Amino acid sequence: MLMTADQEQGRLPGPGITPKPAAPREKAATDPGTSLPAVSTRDLSIFFDDHQVLKRVSLDVPARSVTAIIGPSGCGKSTFLRAINRMHDLVPSARIEGQIRLFGEDIHGAHVEPVQVRRRVGMVFQKSNPFPTMSIADNVTVGLRLNGLRKRSLLAQRMEQALVMAALFEEVKDRLNAPAVSLSGGQQQRLCIARALAVQPEVLLMDEPASALDPLATAKIEDLILELKKDYTIVIVTHNMQQAARISEDTAFFYLGELIEFGSTSKLFTSPSKKQTEDYVTGRFG
Amino acid sequence: MEQTHHRRRKALNACMQGFTCLCAFLVVAPLCLVFYHVLKSGIGSLNWAFFTQLPKPVGEMGGGMANAIVGTFELLGLAALLGVPVGVLGGIFLSEYGSVRLNWAIRLGADVLNGVPSIIWGMVVYALVVVPLKRFSALAGGIVLGTIMIPLIMRTTEEVLRLVPNGYREAALALGIPQWRTVLQIVVRTALKGIVTGVLLALARVAGETAPLLFTAFGNRYWNHHLSDPIAALPLQIFNYAISPYEDWHRQAWAGALVLLFFVAAVNVGVRVLTRDKFAQSR
Amino acid sequence: MTHFEQELADLKNTLLTMASHAESAVRQAVEAVVSRDYDLAMRVRNADVVIDRFEIDVDETAIRLLAKAPLAGDLRLIAVTMKISQNLERVGDEATKIAKRARDLSQEPPLKLAVAIPQLAELALQMLHTSLDAFVNQDALAARALIPQDKQVDALNKDIQRLLADQMISDAETVTRCLHLMVVAKSLERIADHAKNVAEEVVYLCEAQDIRHAGKAAKTASLPGKGSQEP
């Protein structure tokens, strides 16, 4: 089982959560600095009907750092990302081969529910999608409320924590009951990040989170990511290589469903090993 | 040369404009005619007695359609009890669950049923409910109206749910919310206005169904006290009065028609007014 | 070719033009020393402003291209180009120094001493030329082969300095002329150093390896004050 009984009922993972933003989490044996990768795939292949979208991808995402995934359109980077929180379970034509491990545990294990995986692995999408019928406060706590957490004081505490972590609290603290759709694009995206963080995941997946935002909002999101990586493992898909160079420790380059190169960001962007990577990164892709 | 072309184009443009105007008018005109005629014929007979008294026996003047008005609402209530849960849940299934093939078949079935003449529904329910119970009843009336509503509500619910962007579903599922909760508390909640609209419009539509009620509710000159008794309904009463030879009843039929027309119009307009406000929110 | 690739090619060409100016300045300055040509020396001195202008142009273009956020090979190319232009500008300055001494020497009677200045000049020029060829051809091997040659130049320079010092001691009349020649030899040795720098930049461009200060690093023990690193 991936979750404790407490977690299943939506309560706190452990005693003594402080209101500080960098709340220590007492989940599975993942200490900072250990070599256990947050996400580890082995020979991961994904098919949609007969079309193979990912070809035997083996990759280790280090914990508590930012890993960027780059590549041209259709290279399988979003497919790879969505496999980590089992979003492909919703697609009937999807077939997965190979292994994905979350802190050492197989996410497709015999007794593992997708819902359990998704509570440990959060996701932020390209287009911000706060729920339109709910207020800002309700949006942040929806993941907790709809998983059974009822205690008001706890919800309020988690909501404030999450909004602080998402660098949004100061801007919205006076209008927490306003409709979520009244926020600007950049604020909505930060709200979605707060919503994902409120559930206290261990890994945060981000699918081109800033691609629909103006440069100022983008810069805020990037700054936020640099703060978040102290506590979370972040995997971000981006088509903006300079963004990857700015915020990630490691970068993976995908092309036509294959992992071409994976390495430290500074090396990959100043002197990549593979010619394909060099060609893509310098924009000479034919 | 160019002058001629220009003048011709202007003339053609004016012709088209005039023609489309005429067509628009031809659409609105019957509506106005109906309203005007019903209003003119029925307004005189609308009085307090009309709304509060039972029909008087044959030959006597006066009386009202109180039982028919109440009966219509009662039937609509029963119909809603049957039609709304089945229709909405069916719509949810079509939109959120099921397989492509199965859903296609269900949708086809629903569309066909929507086209079935309501009198046939009346006959079916007659055979299935009235005959075994050996009596006409409010229950049968409610059932027939409800079954007419089911495919209607199912399709409108499905359409409205499909309009909910997939992003909301994905976001909710990615938070670890189970699918059934996502469907109910996120997707349906987002589409709730649309679903309610669909239900109200379906109710407005079946409120005027006469033929199926002939075999099921049958009509009643008195108050209905049990579900297993026949019940009066506005369309039935209008029908019975209209084909009668009595002048007084004709006037009351017009009044009933006015009430029914007003009810349908009010629901349609009301629904539009209510759904308009929320759209102004989007940035 | 994309616009950016064209701009990179233009940058490279500008640098190579600057290089040829620097090379010919050195060559002409040495010629002025050997043939005691006052006019040639003055021409070399006046032409230095062209090389300075080139350095500014190259740097401006490079910064402009950097603002387009290039990566990988392109990024290294631009960084290296800026470094090489700086080295070439210094080579131009050394050539000017040589030219000035040539001018002064031409005003004095010739020195009757066989000094290996032409050989030193040839070595330095050859190093410069090879390093620039390596840049054009992106030939890291040729660049690496160049680097030890600097030791030869240093040795030859030392010999020349000693010879000239002995001459100054034995004949006080020749002091001024010997001093001029010492400066010339020193400048040529510096030109060879700059050629070595260019070679090191070429290695970085081709292999992404920073081989500068390799000799110093071997002599230095672990640096004090580094402290504990973040895991």
Chains A and B physically touch (3 or more Cβ atom pairs below 8 Å): yes
3-state secondary structure of A101: strand
Q: Which residues of C touch A242 (CB under 8 A)?
A: 69, 71
Q: Dihedral sign for Cα A21, B181, A88, B92, please.
A: negative
Query: A48 CB near a chain B CB, below 8 Å?
Result: no
Contact A198, A159 (CB under 8 A): yes
Token representation of residue C189: 């040795």
| Domains in chain B, number | 1
Token representation of residue C117: 């200045």
Q: Are strands A250-255 and A66-70 parallel, antiparallel or unpaired?
A: parallel
Q: Which residues of B touch A182 (CB under 8 A)?
A: 281, 283
Neighbours of chain A (3+ CB pairs under 8 A): B, C
pLDDT in tens, A207-264: 999 999 999 999 999 999 999 999 999 999 999 999 999 999 999 999 999 999 999 9
Whether C71 sits inside 8 A of A269 (CB atoms) is yes
Q: Which residues of A touch C78 (CB under 8 A)?
A: none
Q: What is the rounded CA–CA span in Å between residue C113 and residue C105?
A: 14
Token representation of residue A137: 């406060």
- Low-confidence residues in chain B, pLDDT < 50: 279, 281-283
Q: What does residue B282 show for φ and ψ, rounded to 5 degrees?
A: -65, 145
Say which residues have a Cβ less than 8 Å from residue A164's Cβ, sequence separation at least 6: A21
Nearest to A278 among C2, C4, C72 (CB): C72
Whether A270 sits inside 8 A of C69 (CB atoms) is no
Average pLDDT, integer, range A55-60: 96
Neighbours of B43 (CB within 10 A): 11
Domain that holds residue B86: 66-275
Q: In chain B, whose CA is at the least distance from the CA of A183?
A: B283
Contact C5, A284 (CB under 8 A): yes
The predicted pLDDT at position C217 comes to 54
Residue A22: pLDDT band (50, 70, 90) is very low
The DSSP call for residue C171 is: -
Closest CA to A143 of A215, A201, A212: A201
* CB-count exposure of residue A195 (10 Å: 0-12, 13-18, 19+): buried
**Segments in chain A forming alpha helices (H):** 5-8, 77-84, 114-120, 136-145, 152-165, 169-172, 185-198, 215-228, 241-247, 265-270, 275-281
* ipTM for this prediction: 0.84
Q: Which helix (H) or strand (E) holds A70?
A: strand A66-70
Measured in whole angstroms, the distance separating CA C224 from the mean position of its chain's CA atoms is: 33
pLDDT in tens, C79-137: 999 999 999 999 999 999 999 999 999 999 988 888 899 999 999 999 999 999 999 99
A68 Rama class: left (phi>0) / alpha (psi -120 to 50) / beta: beta
Neighbours of chain C (3+ CB pairs under 8 A): A
The DSSP call for residue B205 is: H
Query: A92 CB near a chain C CB, below 8 Å?
Result: no
Say which residues have a Cβ less than 8 Å from residue A284's Cβ, sequence separation at least 6: C2, C5
Closest CA to B93 of B23, B171, B185, B162: B162
What is the domain partition of chain A in residue ranges? 34-281
Say which residues have a Cβ less than 8 Å from residue C175's Cβ, sequence separation at least 6: C168
Q: Which residues of C touch A280 (CB under 8 A)?
A: none
Specify the range with the lowest mean pLDDT, choosing from A10-19, A122-131, A144-153, B182-191: A10-19
Average pLDDT value for chain C: 91
The predicted pLDDT at position B44 comes to 84
CA end-to-end distance (rounded Å), chain A: 47
Query: A261 CB near a chain C CB, below 8 Å?
Result: no
3-state secondary structure of A12: coil
Q: What contacts 24+ positions apart, CB below 8 Å, involve C113-119? A: C113/C163, C113/C164, C113/C167, C113/C174, C115/C160, C115/C163, C115/C164, C115/C181, C115/C185, C116/C156, C116/C159, C116/C160, C117/C30, C117/C33, C117/C34, C117/C160, C117/C181, C117/C184, C117/C185, C117/C188, C118/C30, C118/C34, C119/C156
Average pLDDT, integer, range A95-112: 94
Q: Which residues of C touch A245 (CB under 8 A)?
A: 71
Place of tokens 């995908």: A254
Closest CA to B68 of B244, B269, B268, B239: B239
List strands edge to edge, sheet with A250-255. Answer: A121-124, A203-207, A233-237, A66-70, A250-255, A258-264
Say which residues have a Cβ less than 8 Å from residue A51's Cβ, sequence separation at least 6: none
Q: What is the rounded CA–CA span in Å between residue B193 and residue B203?
A: 15
| CA distance, residue A192 to nearest chain B CA (Å) | 9
* CB-count exposure of residue B226 (10 Å: 0-12, 13-18, 19+): exposed
Average pLDDT, integer, range C197-208: 96
Contact A200, A141 (CB under 8 A): no
Closest CA to B123 of B138, B109, B108, B143: B143
- Amino acid code (one letter) for C140: A
Q: In chain A, whose CA is at the least distance from the CA of C78?
A: A270
Closest CA to A209 of A83, A82, A124: A124
Nearest to A181 among B171, B174, B283 (CB): B283
Q: What is the rounded CA–CA span in Å between residue B67 and residue A159?
A: 55
The DSSP call for residue A103 is: T
The predicted pLDDT at position B215 comes to 85
Token representation of residue A200: 């206290």
Q: Which CATH superfamily is domain C3-212 in?
A: Phosphate transport system protein phou homolog 2; domain 2 (1.20.58.220)
Q: What is the rounded CA–CA span in Å between residue C56 and residue C53?
A: 5
CATH of the domain at B158: 1.10.3720.10
Whether A241 sits inside 8 A of C71 (CB atoms) is yes
A74 compared with C182, residue with greater pLDDT: C182
The predicted pLDDT at position B51 comes to 84
Q: What is the rounded CA–CA span in Å between residue A129 and residue B81?
A: 35
High-pLDDT (> 90) share of chain C, %: 86
Whether A33 sits inside 8 A of C69 (CB atoms) is no
| CATH number attached to the domain at A34-281 | 3.40.50.300
Whether C2 sits inside 8 A of A269 (CB atoms) is no
- Please indicate, yes or no, if residue B48 is contained in any of the structural domains: no
Whether C75 sits inside 8 A of A283 (CB atoms) is no
Q: What is the rounded CA–CA span in Å between residue C231 and residue C218?
A: 26
3-state secondary structure of A68: strand
A279 Rama class: left (phi>0) / alpha (psi -120 to 50) / beta: alpha
pLDDT in tens, B95-146: 999 888 999 999 999 999 999 999 999 999 999 999 998 989 899 999 999 9
Q: What is the rounded CA–CA span in Å between residue C195 and residue B146?
A: 94
Q: Report the DSSP beta bridge partners of residue A41.
A: A59, A100
Mutation target for A interface from C4, C65, C71, C203: give the one with most A CBs within 10 A.
C71
> Is the pLDDT confidence value at A18 over 50?
no
Q: What is the rounded CA–CA span in Å between residue B130 and residue B217?
A: 9
Q: In chain C, whose CA is at the least distance from the CA of A271?
A: C72
Mutation target for C interface from A253, A282, A284, A285: give the one with most C CBs within 10 A.
A282
Q: Which residues of A touch C207 (CB under 8 A)?
A: 271
Whether A284 sits inside 8 A of C208 (CB atoms) is no
| CA distance, residue A283 to nearest chain C CA (Å) | 9
3-state secondary structure of A283: coil
Chains B and C physically touch (3 or more Cβ atom pairs below 8 Å): no
What is the domain partition of chain C in residue ranges? 3-212
**Segments in chain B forming alpha helices (H):** 2-42, 48-52, 66-96, 100-115, 118-125, 131-133, 138-163, 166-174, 179-181, 189-207, 211-215, 234-242, 247-279
Mutation target for A interface from B96, B166, B177: give the one with most A CBs within 10 A.
B177
R_g of chain A computed on alpha carbons:
19
> Is the pLDDT confidence value at C224 over 70?
no
Whether C70 sits inside 8 A of A282 (CB atoms) is yes
Q: What is the rounded CA–CA span in Å between residue B161 and residue B95?
A: 6
| CA distance, residue A55 to nearest chain C CA (Å) | 26
Mutation target for B interface from A120, A124, A127, A129: give the one with most B CBs within 10 A.
A129
pLDDT in tens, A139-193: 999 999 998 889 999 999 999 999 999 999 999 999 999 999 999 999 999 999 9
Query: C9 CB near a chain A CB, below 8 Å?
Result: no
Q: Which residues of B touch A192 (CB under 8 A)?
A: 171
Nearest to A272 among C2, C72, C231 (CB): C72
Whether C72 sits inside 8 A of A282 (CB atoms) is yes
List strands edge to edge, sheet with A51-61. Answer: A51-61, A39-48, A94-102, A105-106
The H helix count followed by the E strand count for chain C is: 8, 0
Contact B190, B164 (CB under 8 A): yes
> Is the pLDDT confidence value at A7 over 60?
no
Residue A25: pLDDT band (50, 70, 90) is very low
The DSSP call for residue A182 is: G
Mutation target for B interface from A93, A131, A195: give the one with most B CBs within 10 A.
A131
Nearest to A118 among B176, B181, B283 (CB): B176
Q: In chain C, whose CA is at the least distance from the CA of A281?
A: C71
The predicted pLDDT at position A57 comes to 96
> Is the pLDDT confidence value at C159 over 70?
yes
> Is the pLDDT confidence value at A12 over 60?
no
The predicted pLDDT at position B275 comes to 76
Whether A269 sits inside 8 A of C72 (CB atoms) is yes
Nearest to C231 among A33, A277, A281 (CB): A33
Q: Are strands A233-237 and A51-61 parallel, antiparallel or unpaired?
A: unpaired
Contact A141, A159 (CB under 8 A): yes
Interface of A with B in 144-173 (CB under 8 A): 146-147
Q: In chain A, whose CA is at the least distance from the CA of C74?
A: A282
| CA distance, residue A281 to nearest chain B CA (Å) | 31
Q: Which helix (H) or strand (E) holds C103?
A: helix C72-107
* B→A interface, C-beta within 8 Å: 99, 165, 167-168, 170-178, 181, 185-186, 189-190, 192, 281-283
- Please indicate, yes or no, if residue B27 is contained in any of the structural domains: no
Neighbours of C33 (CB within 10 A): 26
Query: A119 CB near a chain B CB, below 8 Å?
Result: yes
The predicted pLDDT at position B222 comes to 85
Mutation target for C interface from A34, A229, A265, A270: give the one with most C CBs within 10 A.
A270
- Please indicate, yes or no, if residue B192 is contained in any of the structural domains: yes
Q: Which helix (H) or strand (E) holds C50?
A: helix C38-66
